[in-house]
Chain A
Amino acid sequence: MKLIWKLLRHHISVAQLAGFFLANLCGMVIVLLGIQFYNDVLPIFTQSDSFLKKDYIVVSKKVSTLGSFLGRSNQFSNVDIEEVKEQPFTESVGPFTSSHFQVSAGLGIEGIQMSTAMFFESVPDEFVDIETDKWRFTPGDGTIPIIIPRNYLNLYNFGFAQSRSLPQISEGLMGTISLDIRIAGKGKRDNYKGRIVGFSNRLNTILVPDAFMKWANTQYAEGKQKGPSRLIIEVNNPTDERIARFFEDKGYETENDKLDNGKAAWFLRIIVGIVLSVGLVISILSLYILMLSIFLLLQKNTYKLENLLLIGYSTRKVAFPYQAMTVLLNGLVLVLSTAIVLLVRHVYSNLMDEMGLPIDTGAPWLAIGAGIVLFLIVSAINTTLIYRKMKSLF
């Protein structure tokens, strides 16, 4: 093999191979970086409350001035719910059940008693992804688990507490404080303890277990219960454009920024797609350079190759040095591009940290995996083309 290499390395153009190497490196880095960046940044757009199912949307009917005058209902009927259920993007639908009784909550901090009238809502338990023994209520329990919007805590910490020189409360501390809940209705008045088990970024309501809500409504509610005015919908892909179109057609409003995030994620996808395409095009062109360079080399060495075949070397053996050379080059490109991606990732993860958007900096397996797949594909194409060319020469 050493002798064969000594023979066949003649006419190898270092400049051409360096050109291929750089171009392929460029393409590979762009592709891998695109994939890794997408993978790192996408969670920022699609991040969810840890205790709620990932891809959900809250919808309500528009409250219009005219509607208010005419007393038009903005509740969802069973027909409406069935219709949503049948949409292709829908995984499941759950109604918000609201409290039809009076609720007030009180909290005592450092001797100051605060109390406010409020309301409860619940969604079916399947939408709440929290340990079941924390999110449970059986009639007779004196304690109600509650999820409140994180905004409420911020409102207290940065507004109320500062203006009154009260201590700020961390989320952890808040979880240990119990609220005094007073519920009244149907001529009854009872006291309960409320325990905060979670904070929600995206759900603007005070959430209690469905079991409690059903029970409390039968106990305290007066008159006929109304249908839900909000629905929670789990969707299979929040970036699906059919979702926005459907809601627009029906005149529903989406309540949180899920769809905006969906749009941002969609744009991210497009941009990364464009970047990936550019990277791939560069890679393909570099492959083309390499093939041209090697075909030229084969042409220049035709006489030697022919002689080798005539003294009994097989096409496979004669093609091997060139194939090995390209695979080696591809391997080098793979190693180097992975290193560059790691370096660049280090830089942008620091930048994003500074912007307060920390990303998960585990090992970039996706980029490495994609790199290996690309390496295998490119090498397979190279070796096959070289072998075919060699065969066609004689």
Chain B
Amino acid sequence: MNTITLQQTLPQAFAGRDSIVSDVWHRHIELQRGQSILIEASSGSGKSSLCSYIYGYRDDYQGIIGFDGKNIRSLGMNEWTEIRKKSISMLFQELRLFAELTAWENVQIKNSLTGFKSKNEIKEWFERLDIADKMQSPVGRMSFGQQQRVALIRALCQPFDFIFLDEPTSHLDDTNADIMASLLQEEATRQEAGVIVTSIGKHLNMDYQQIWKL
């Protein structure tokens, strides 16, 4: 997958509003593979909605979203499964980790599906993100900041053309945010993938080609 296009896309919830001032909604924009884009937004401006539309688990929008020119409304369940496994990775704002599994198991449940990373690579990431000692702890007993790092590792355990990170650093200190950014940058460069980061304040420190206001 090389391009994601948004044509006149708008959440249905916004349809009644008189004027929309946004770089994304109600415009024609293209997300290119290999680019890094920051989407700045204030709370309630629809960034999580944007992620959920592109990831296919909500479709309450107007306009057209296309993957390489194909309208995503026409995709079936199986196609979405393949896309989520091989083309688009997502770090959800609400993380969507499994609280009763350990940090390690949460990553394994994804990696055993894709078989993308070796155990050593994953262990190394745990160490770099300073949560190696938490690998065998149930995620439910970890702080949200620690959980965000686990979720990042999980998101990286798959091949992708685009990776979306919905407020990835909301609960991270600067040092850990920088480690996260460099990890992400390495992996994205290696896979020549597009990176889309949303933020309501603190940005993930990366070289962005474009910064859009939602």
Checking B55, B81, B108, B110 against A314 with a beta-carbon cut-off of 8 angstroms, the contacting residue is B81
Checking B84, B101, B108, B114 against A310 with a beta-carbon cut-off of 8 angstroms, the contacting residue is B84
CB distance from B165 to the nearest CB of A (A): 15
Contacting pair B113 A312 (CB below 8 A): yes
Complexed CA–CA distance, A167 and B114 (Å): 90
| In the complex, B202 has a CB within 8 A of chain A | no
Most chain A beta carbons < 10 A, residue from B55, B92, B113: B113
Contacting pair A310 B158 (CB below 8 A): no
9-residue interface stretch from A2-10, A49-57, A145-153, A328-336 = A2-10
Contacting pair B100 A10 (CB below 8 A): yes
Complexed CA–CA distance, A345 and B168 (Å): 68
Within residues 98 to 117 of chain A, which ones have a CB less than 8 A from any CB in chain B?
none
Known: A312-B81, A313-B81, A314-B78. Is A3-B105 also a contact (CB below 8 A)? yes
Known: A310-B90, A312-B113, A313-B81. Is A3-B158 also a contact (CB below 8 A)? no
Closest residue of chain A to B95 (Cβ to Cβ) is A307
Contacting pair B98 A307 (CB below 8 A): yes
| In the complex, A311 has a CB within 8 A of chain B | yes
Complexed CA–CA distance, A304 and B109 (Å): 12
| In the complex, B21 has a CB within 8 A of chain A | no
Closest residue of chain B to A309 (Cβ to Cβ) is B81
Contacting pair B98 A312 (CB below 8 A): no
For B84, the chain A residues whose CB sits under 8 A away are 309-312
Known: A4-B109, A312-B113. Is A391-B154 also a contact (CB below 8 A)? no
Checking B77, B78, B100, B113 against A311 with a beta-carbon cut-off of 8 angstroms, the contacting residue is B113
Interface residue range, chain A: 10 to 19
Contacting pair A312 B77 (CB below 8 A): no
Within residues 54 to 86 of chain B, which ones have a CB less than 8 A from any CB in chain A?
55, 57, 77-78, 81, 84-85
For B154, the chain A residues whose CB sits under 8 A away are 311
Contacting pair B85 A3 (CB below 8 A): no
| In the complex, A46 has a CB within 8 A of chain B | no
For B92, the chain A residues whose CB sits under 8 A away are 310
Mask of A312-336 contacts with B, CB within 8 angstroms, 1/0: 1111000000000000000000000
Contacting pair A310 B96 (CB below 8 A): yes
Mask of A358-394 contacts with B, CB within 8 angstroms, 1/0: 0000000000000000000000000000000001001
Known: A311-B154, A312-B85, A391-B77. Is A3-B109 also a contact (CB below 8 A)? yes
Contacting pair A313 B113 (CB below 8 A): yes
| In the complex, B22 has a CB within 8 A of chain A | no
Contacting pair B109 A311 (CB below 8 A): yes
Complexed CA–CA distance, A128 and B113 (Å): 72
Within residues 1 to 28 of chain A, which ones have a CB less than 8 A from any CB in chain B?
3-4, 6-7, 10
For A307, the chain B residues whose CB sits under 8 A away are 96, 98
Complexed CA–CA distance, A307 and B154 (Å): 13
Closest residue of chain B to A304 (Cβ to Cβ) is B98
Complexed CA–CA distance, A6 and B78 (Å): 24
Closest residue of chain A to B114 (Cβ to Cβ) is A312
For A310, the chain B residues whose CB sits under 8 A away are 55, 57, 84, 90, 92, 96
Closest residue of chain B to A311 (Cβ to Cβ) is B110
CB distance from B103 to the nearest CB of A (A): 13
Mask of B97-138 contacts with A, CB within 8 angstroms, 1/0: 010110001001110111000000000000000000000000
Closest residue of chain A to B158 (Cβ to Cβ) is A312
CB distance from B177 to the nearest CB of A (A): 23
Contacting pair B55 A3 (CB below 8 A): no
Contacting pair A315 B77 (CB below 8 A): yes
For A391, the chain B residues whose CB sits under 8 A away are 77
Contacting pair A3 B101 (CB below 8 A): yes
CB distance from B90 to the nearest CB of A (A): 7
Closest residue of chain A to B55 (Cβ to Cβ) is A310
For B90, the chain A residues whose CB sits under 8 A away are 310
Known: A311-B109, A314-B81. Is A6-B96 also a contact (CB below 8 A)? no
Could you list some 22 contacts between A and B, CB below 8 A? A3-B108, A3-B112, A6-B100, A6-B105, A7-B98, A7-B101, A7-B109, A304-B98, A307-B98, A308-B109, A310-B57, A310-B90, A310-B96, A311-B84, A311-B109, A311-B154, A312-B81, A312-B85, A313-B81, A314-B77, A315-B77, A315-B81
Q: Please provide the 8 A-B residue pairs with the shortest distance between their CB atoms, ordered closest to farther.
A: A312-B85, A312-B84, A314-B81, A307-B96, A3-B109, A311-B110, A3-B105, A312-B113
Having A304-B98, A314-B81, one finds 18 other A-B pairs with CB under 8 Å, namely: A3-B105, A4-B109, A6-B101, A7-B100, A7-B109, A307-B96, A309-B84, A310-B57, A310-B84, A311-B84, A311-B109, A312-B81, A312-B84, A312-B85, A312-B110, A312-B158, A314-B77, A394-B57
